[in-house]
Structure formats: C-alpha cells, structure tokens
Structure 1
Amino acid sequence: MKLKETKIECFLALPDIISLLNLSFGFLAILMALNNQITISSIFIIIAVIFDSVDGWIARKLSRIDKYGFGKNIDSLSDIVSFGVAPAVLLYIIGASFSNEIGYLSAVIALFVVICGVLRLTRFNVISDKIDFKGFVGVPIPTTGILLSTFILSRLFNIYLGMFLMVVVGFLMISNIKYKKFYNPQILPIIAILVLLAIIPNSMIFWGINIPATIIFIITLVYVFITPMLNLFKN
C-alpha cells in the first residue's frame, strides 16, 4: 500500500459517517450522564442505537466493497463507546447517587460491562467472515444500551435489578450462545414508532409509566433471555 492510499478519504464512506453519528451520540450520552442528565443520556443512547442499526443497512444498499475492513472496525469502535462505555458510565452515575457502597459496586459492574463489550466486539471482528452462522455469537452489544436506557426511560428503574441485568448481559455477550438477527419488515415499523414515542418527552406517560419504553424494555428482555432458556431446555 502506497502512502497516498492511506489518506482517510480513501477509506471513509457514507456508512462510516453514520457510524460516527452513533459514536457522537454515545459520547454525548456520557457527557450528559456526568452532568447528571440521566434522561437525556438514556435518550442519546437510544439515538445511537438507531444510527448503529442504519449503517449496515446503508452499506448493503450501496454494495460497499470494504476490502480492508475499515467499516467493520469503525463500527466496532463506535459501538464500544455508545453501548459499552456510555451505559457503564450511566449505571455508575446512578449507583453513586444512592450511596458510596452502591457506587463502588456499580463501578465494578460498569467496568465488567466495558471489558465484556471489548471482548465481544474483538471476537466478532475475528470470526465474522469465518463462520457460516448469519446471526450473533453472544448477545449483541447494543443490547446493553437498549436495556439500560429503556429501563430508565420506563420510569420503573431499580438500581439493583439494573446492576443484575448488566452483569447477566455482560456474561451473555462473551458467551457462545447463538442469537438470531431480528429482522421482520412487518414488525420493524412498529418498533420504529415505539422507539420514537419512547424518546419524545411525555409522549405516552400513563400512571407515571413510559409505555413505549416499557414495551421495548420487555421485548429486549425476551430477546436476551429466551434463547439461553431454550438452549437449556434442549440440553
């Protein structure tokens, strides 16, 4: 490879811009969490999930040829910020607001989530073009962001359950359990509407509960736990 071929414009494509938007909202979510803007931080993580789900679709539509794996790497690096570090910082900030003891525990769990996220994404980059399975090996890392942020937005959040879920998801990320990709053209518009309603402030609040966020939280829980349970029953 010649030096002139290493210019960033030789690698950067439209899907990578979308990945950088994912990264940007993940970084902003961290800043908002540090400023104790918990709801805004949760919303930014959800927006990051939206961009993360779009970049691959755009790459396929454009029939992108990425022989050096630039897109795969920028996507993974963006994901670790938005769905590893951002949820981890958010969890720690919430935990520290209760007491020093819960703060220390949430810090350990937050670090665990980041480590599992790095391990999961590194393994993905190594095996993605070497296995026949079209789904995910281990639960995908955006699950951490979706679970924690929708749990918070639902207004049903409990710090102990939140920490427990993050520990479980951390282990599932580095597990060898096969998760199918969720793609259904008829259901996706409904999910998209739920996501929009969940992040619009006070859009559908009944009895003090954010209904769209709660529905997404429950759907994500089912997705995360149904596969390991089915595997357990098979064995």
Structure 2
Amino acid sequence: MLSLLPSLITLSSAFCGFDAVRRSASARSDEDLQRAALLVLVAMVLDTLDGRVARMTRTQSAFGRELDSLADLVSFGVAPAVLVYQGSLHRLGLAGVLGAFVFTACGAIRLARFNVLAMRDAGRAGPPPRFIVGLPVTGAAGILVAIVMTGGAAGGPLGGAGAAPAVLAAMLVASLLMVSTIRFRSFKDLRFDTRAALLIAFALGSSALVSARWAPGFVVAWLTGAYVLLGVVESLWRLPRTMPRFRARDEEEIEPQRHRGHRGRESREERM
C-alpha cells in the first residue's frame, strides 16, 4: 500500500490539472479563472510532494517517472495554456491558438527530454543533480498562473484586451525557456541546514512583504520571476567558461601541472 502513495499523489495532481481545464473552458468571470489558477498551484504542491514521498519511502520506479510526466503534461502543459487562452489569448484569434499550442508542445518536449536524460543517468550513483536543463514545466506554468493572478489583481481579466499581445509574448518566452539549454537549480540537493533555513526565511519574508504591499497574487509572480532570473544569471555567469578561448586557457594552465606531476613521478622512480 505504501508503494501506491506517490502514484496517488501524482494522480491527484493530474485531477487538479483536469479540473483547472474544465473550469477554464467554462469560465464566465475572472473569479472562475482565479479558481482554475489556484488549482494549478495545488497541482504544483502535489507534484513536489510525490517525488519526495517516493524518495522517502524508497518506491521510485520507471512507472512512477512516466506517470509523473503524463500528469505534468496535463497540469502544467495543457491546463495553464487553456487558462491563459480563455482569459486573454482568445482575443488574438489564430495567433492565440498557436501561442497556447506552442506552450503545450514545448512542455511535452521538455518532459520527454527530462525522461531521456533521467534514463541515461539511472545507473549512475551519486547525489541528485543540482541543475536541470531547461525551465521546468512547473516554473513555466507558474509564469502563466502569475499572469492570471496579477491580471485579476489589476482589476480585470489579465489586465484587459490591450494586454493580450504582451501575454502572448510572455507565453512564448516561457515556452522557449523550457526547451532551452539554460540550467536551472533543482533544489533536490537542498539540505535542512543554516543556509537552507536562511533561504526559506527570505522566501517567506519577502513573500509576506509582497502580499502585504500589493496582493497575494503577486507572490507567485515574485517567486517565479526570482527563480527564472536566478537561472538566467547563473547561466550567463558560467557562459565564459564554456567558450573555446577560456577552455583553451584552462587546458594551458592544467598541462604544466601534468608535466610537473610526470617529472615528480620520474624523480621518485630514479630515487628508487
């Protein structure tokens, strides 16, 4: 029975995504869109729990990974796209339809790539990876949920009719980040130490400040934006090390050390 618990949590996340699609498709007011957005947020919490429960109970499996990906496609690929389309992109006609589909398609590609990389690294021992390639679908869905919730806080459905092109642009940026090679932190290696406590305290304190200063919906925008910005800044910081000129310089610095090591071994052999 314990082995079924992660799968039940995963299916609960999928149900939240399904219900978010249902509510978005039949939305008659901004309140309906807000409820659908909250369901996507609940799915995010459940998606975080299922992996941790599987690791705690040592019930990780290939079946669970595939089920999690299918649930993620529903909750974070289809549901946010339908939500934003119903709230704003329908005003753009075919461009809005294509924009919503591009988001869903990029989410599917992101999940498929994750599964391929996970299968390749399945036999390797070691701690969980610190970084993952491409923006997670949960992060991309968070961007769209933040748009919906901040749009409602601004006094209208996604900020009104004039905001539709900006919403489409934001959706396309989120789609590109999912299929990009930018590395984002997974936080799977996070341990409950002083550093983690300070990070959690900062997240909670800043979220409370944003909520008190503006509205609770802006907390999602703040946390999602900070996560995306952190990944982009860290990738730009590491970019020079990936350029051929810097790699060649590093090799030139390493090569003399190798020669010194060889000479050291040769001298020891001569003494022997």
TM-score after normalising by structure 1: 0.79
Distance in 2 of aligned mates of 1:25 and 1:149? 14
Q: Percent identity?
A: 27
Structure showing greater Rg: 2
How large is the Cα RMSD of the aligned pairs?
2.7
Give the aligned partner of residue 112 of structure 1.
Answer: 102
Decide whether aligned partners of structure 1 residues 213 and 193 sit closer, same or farther in structure 2, where only a CA change above 3 A counts: farther
Distance in 2 of aligned mates of 1:177 and 1:96? 27
Does 2:133 correspond to 1:128?
Answer: no
Give the aligned partner of residue 65 of structure 2.
Answer: 72
1:91, 1:106 within 8 Å by CA — same for their partners in 2?
no
1:94, 1:159 within 8 Å by CA — same for their partners in 2?
no
Distance in 1 of aligned mates of 2:82 and 2:169? 16
Distance in 2 of aligned mates of 1:221 and 1:174? 18
- Any idea what SS the aligned residue of 2:120 has? coil
1:150, 1:216 within 8 Å by CA — same for their partners in 2?
yes
Distance in 2 of aligned mates of 1:160 and 1:147? 16
Which of the numbers 162, 170, 177 marks the counterpart of 1:172? 177
Distance in 2 of aligned mates of 1:193 and 1:49? 21
Distance in 2 of aligned mates of 1:193 and 1:47? 21
Q: How many residues align?
A: 211
TM-score after normalising by structure 2: 0.69
Decide whether aligned partners of structure 1 residues 115 and 96 sit closer, same or farther in structure 2, where only a CA change above 3 A counts: closer
Structure 2: stretches of 5+ with no match in the other structure: 241-272
Structure 1: stretches of 5+ with no match in the other structure: 1-8, 198-203
Distance in 1 of aligned mates of 2:149 and 2:65? 30
What are the equivalent positions in structure 2 for 1:1-235 lying under 5 Å apart?
A: 13-36=4-27, 37-66=32-61, 69-96=62-89, 99=91, 102-131=92-121, 133-154=129-150, 155-156=153-154, 157=158, 158-182=163-187, 183=190, 185-186=196-197, 187-188=199-200, 209-210=214-215, 212-232=216-236, 234-235=239-240
Offset from partner CA, 1:89-119 (integer Å, 9 cap, x none):
112112255x3xx132221111001110111
